[in-house]
Chains A and B, each alone.
Chain A
Amino acid sequence: MITGIGVTSPYGVGPAALADGLSAGSSRFAPLEGRLGVLPPGVGAQLDLPRKQFKEWFDTRVLRLSTMTRQTQLGCIAAGDLLKGMGLSPDGSKHLDKGAFLGSFIVPPDFAKQVRAIRILSHRPEGEDSGYVLDDTRLAEAMKFASAFDFLRALPNMPSSHLSIQSGFQGPACTYLGSDASGLQALGMAVHTIRSGQTNAMIAGAAFSPFQEVHLAWQHKRGLWNATDVPADERVRPYSVRTGNAPGEGGAVFYLEERAYAEARGATILAEVTGYGQRVLPASADGQVEVRAEALRAALPEGSPDWVAPSALGRADMDRLDASAHARAFGADFSAGTVAVTPTIGFAGPATAPLQLAAALLSARGDATPVRGLDVDADPSSRVLADGFARVGAVGAGATAVTSCFSLDGVHAAFGVRIEA
């Protein structure tokens, strides 16, 4: 059961900010400053939040900002918001029966600083084709850049470790690194962990910030960004002929509980998890549509969803795969409302799918009324999802929503929910 949602997005902190932003349809893209601004696509959606406000969501004396990357901060703010919203704000007590799973990515913003130090230290000997040597006369200079904190920040398990310390959750903690699918993988594994009786409750989701030079350059080379002259607030239109995305940051975490445990403590059950599916197939292999459809069907074993929140990547090949798989999974009369956060707050890597899940859940509950009309310039091959931008799905108890995503590693993942309250 899902009994709580925590969100950090360019709209602000909290699910209400996300719901309001989606309902207004307001774009949060703005020109990027400094060295980031000269890189394609030149715009991005960031959360403007002064550091001094972080203590509203976690104890900065315990969780030192010096040990946190931006993505860890976004995850801890989302988790702090979730716990606060549920009346479970940390009071120093420990919880043996609860854990934290978070999806992330291994390239934190400060990574470049660490590598800069290594670059100073190392050079390739003249006349050699490969290999590096260290120049110890440069060590002192290099160590100005490399610090213990840089290294600790860069460790992949830091996001979930911070979360477990923040919440006092002493059950399993794990960070997943499955690229863009790791957020849904974290949610899926959290469901398994509860079902297997290892825990009664889990915080799970993902957080990510792509605003680091090399990462933006990488995604540009991957062909992900729309670097055209189209105004920023119209650039990202998944399932249309306008191809490309823009970077965004954020995090979405969910409080998952075993039903009896949630009911016993009088919790409001927002939604039931209908299923989770995950398959892997090399990106170059045939059968992508079928595999993706199987994942979707596993997420919602019966019936057709009222809302779908697909990957909304904005790349023609991926969009068409998305559309074909949804049609294969849910039939020709598939008529769900489509939800997408990417047109207004961008693509946030592994955090995108959990943000999509939050958006779909809020839409199905009626907390958000996502603005319609994003079906402009629809790609005829993606109509089944593009047309959904003009539709409004069923709202309230019994309404269903399916979120899905795809990673470059070939992972197809999907997660389904049915609204209870």
Chain B
Amino acid sequence: MSSPEQNPQDDVSVVVTGLGLVTAAGAGVSESYAMLRRGKSALSPLRLFDPDPYSLEIAGEVQTIPRDPEEDRAFQLLDLATTQVMEASGWGESQRGESTGVVLGTCQGAIEGASNIHRRYAARPIPHTTSSDRRSFAEYRPGHGTARVAKEIGATGPTSTVGMVCVSSSVALMHAVDLIKCGEARRVLAGGFEAFTQFVLTGFHCIGALAAGPLKPFDADRDGTVLGEGAVLMTLEREDDARARGATILARIAGCGIAADAFHMTAPDPKGGGLERAVRQAFDEAGLGPEDIDYISAHGTGTVFNDGMESVAFSRIFADVDERGRMPPVTGVKSVFGHTLGAAGALDAAMAILAMRDGVFTPTVAHTTPIEGLESWDFNPDNVRSAPDVRCILSTNSAFGGNNSALIIQRVDDA
């Protein structure tokens, strides 16, 4: 709750104290992170339905979790991640109530259930409502995922559901930080979720954004993205609260930036203007600059337009440090997990946090030949390598419609 008398608390530090992950690599933080560290891809031939009409070879389907006919896939993944993050964070009775919020991002929410409803209700007369329909009617709204998690963890504070396609979950993390800094909440569970569905696959097929083979971030031969599914959640809280309860602090969210291209409905600003503004806004908030970044976790969808735009933006932002031969390594994880859309931003950030915790650079799997002009950049294509001095990571995402986000993630040394 806010009133004009409450001022933003800029000095409030917000930290990450727990992670929950479900990805194509499996249900669990260690499964996903281990796959990335090994430099292996979790993408595999699609089992959900016949991929031939889409000329699809692989996808980031969570095959270790069987589909539950009684539950929408999106919520199935979300519930698993919720259980994990609550165990990891140590949140309990003291963290329930109105000082706890939930902010989630998604692209299409429970669209699978919605599709089933549309199949049935396109008929005339309107069919008799079944119990399954009633549940689907109630649950297919994207906001239901947020409400479901709030109920599960006993949160009655501020909530919101962000529908910003590929930047959904990174914007959700930013809103969570804002809510904590403004004093609206002491802690927020935030992240994103997305299920692999025919609806989304058909859409990406129609717009010609799918790769014929592997997803190749920042590669000269990249030809599109590979879709994935997953749920990624984080517990964010005030650093003083986390320390007081003796929580494990994984990282600090030191800066956030969000900016629109205001350029074109489908094409990104080729100059990367929106992304550059988002990054500079995050720098300003963190009180840091390009020279402080040790590692860039890029969106890296493998599409010609996105990776090209990101490259241009990074070239400008890091021009000075690049000239001095100190361009930070650039990595992307989508070649391992697929593009998880509404969960992508939180997944990128989660992997960056774990890599920083362990003092490593994770590899950019399937990257072989850099985009022309970027030959000097370090995309770390091969194996995980030691990087004990990593203290500050920039994680970026961009979306259709020209939306861009940037997070500055910082190591907390004495945590």
Contacts and interface: CB of A to CB of B under 8 A. Distances in A.
A334 interface: no
Contacts of A273: 4
Nearest to B261: A170
B202 A189 contact: no
Nearest to B281: A198
A331 interface: no
Given A122-B198, A178-B146, A281-B156, A409 B141 contact: yes
A121 interface: yes
Query: By CB atoms of chain A within 10 A, which of B108, B134, B198 has the most?
Result: B198
A220 B117 CA distance: 14
Contact of A278 (B49, B159, B258, B277): B159
Nearest to A35: B124
B141 A179 contact: yes
Interface in B139-180: 141-144, 146-147, 150-151, 155-165, 167-168, 171, 175, 178-179
A343 B78 CA distance: 39
A162 B265 contact: yes
Contacts of A154: 203
Contacts of B1: 275-279, 294-295, 297-298
A222 to B, nearest CB: 7
The prevalent SS among residues of A at the interface is: mixed
A159 to B, nearest CB: 9
B260 A301 contact: no
Given A94-B262, A172-B260, A409-B144, A221 B49 contact: no
A116 interface: yes
A53 interface: no
Interface residues of A, number: 105
A164 B402 contact: yes
Contacts of A298: 1-3
Contact of B143 (A121, A146, A411): A411
B2 A192 contact: yes
A55 B51 CA distance: 42
B147 A136 contact: no
Nearest to B207: A148
Given A165-B264, A214-B118, A407-B143, A117 B259 contact: no
B274 interface: yes
A129 B69 contact: yes
A225 interface: no
B265 A165 contact: yes
Interface string B274-300: 100100010000000000000000000
A155 interface: yes
Nearest to A134: B50
Contact of A152 (B111, B147, B167, B265): B265
A97 to B, nearest CB: 11
B52 interface: yes
A86 interface: no
B265 A67 contact: yes
Given A118-B202, A410-B147, A197 B8 contact: yes
Contacts of A280: 102, 146-147, 150, 155-159
Contacts of A96: 259, 277
B262 A165 contact: yes
Interface in B1-17: 1-5, 7-8
Contact of B160 (A117, A151, A170, A176): A176
A306 B251 CA distance: 47
Interface in A175-216: 175-179, 181-182, 185, 188-189, 191-193, 195-198, 213-214
Given A119-B119, A157-B165, A275-B2, A177 B198 contact: no
B205 to A, nearest CB: 8
Contacts of B158: 278-280
Contacts of B150: 280, 282, 410
Contacts of A151: 202-204, 206-207
Contacts, number: 288
Tier of interface size on chain B: 35 or more
A169 B391 CA distance: 34
B141 A408 contact: yes
Contacts of B263: 165
Contacts of B261: 164-165, 170
Given A157-B163, A295-B1, A121 B401 contact: no
Contacts of B142: 106, 156, 177
Nearest to A287: B156
B133 interface: yes
Contacts of B151: 282, 285, 410
Given A162-B265, A175-B164, A279-B157, A170 B260 contact: yes
A197 to B, nearest CB: 7
Interface in A351-403: none
Given A156-B142, A222-B137, A280-B157, A117 B122 contact: no
Nearest to A94: B262
Contacts of B102: 280
Contacts of A157: 163-165, 167-168, 399-401, 403
Contacts of A294: 1, 98
Nearest to B119: A119
B401 A177 contact: no
A217 interface: yes
Given A136-B53, A280-B147, A411-B147, A196 B163 contact: no
Interface of B: 1-5, 7-8, 49-50, 52-53, 67, 69, 98, 102, 106-109, 111, 114-115, 117-119, 121-122, 124, 126, 129, 133-134, 137-138, 141-144, 146-147, 150-151, 155-165, 167-168, 171, 175, 178-179, 181-182, 184, 198-199, 202-204, 206-208, 258-266, 273-274, 277, 281, 399-403
15 contacts: A35-B124, A115-B114, A115-B119, A136-B50, A139-B53, A146-B206, A148-B207, A150-B203, A151-B203, A155-B107, A156-B107, A167-B262, A197-B8, A301-B5, A409-B143
Given A174-B164, A192-B2, A409-B161, 19 more contacts: A100-B260, A118-B202, A119-B119, A119-B122, A134-B52, A146-B206, A148-B208, A151-B207, A154-B203, A157-B164, A162-B265, A172-B260, A174-B171, A177-B106, A189-B160, A214-B118, A222-B137, A280-B159, A408-B144
- 6 closest A-B pairs by CB: A161-B401, A156-B163, A151-B203, A298-B1, A409-B147, A164-B260
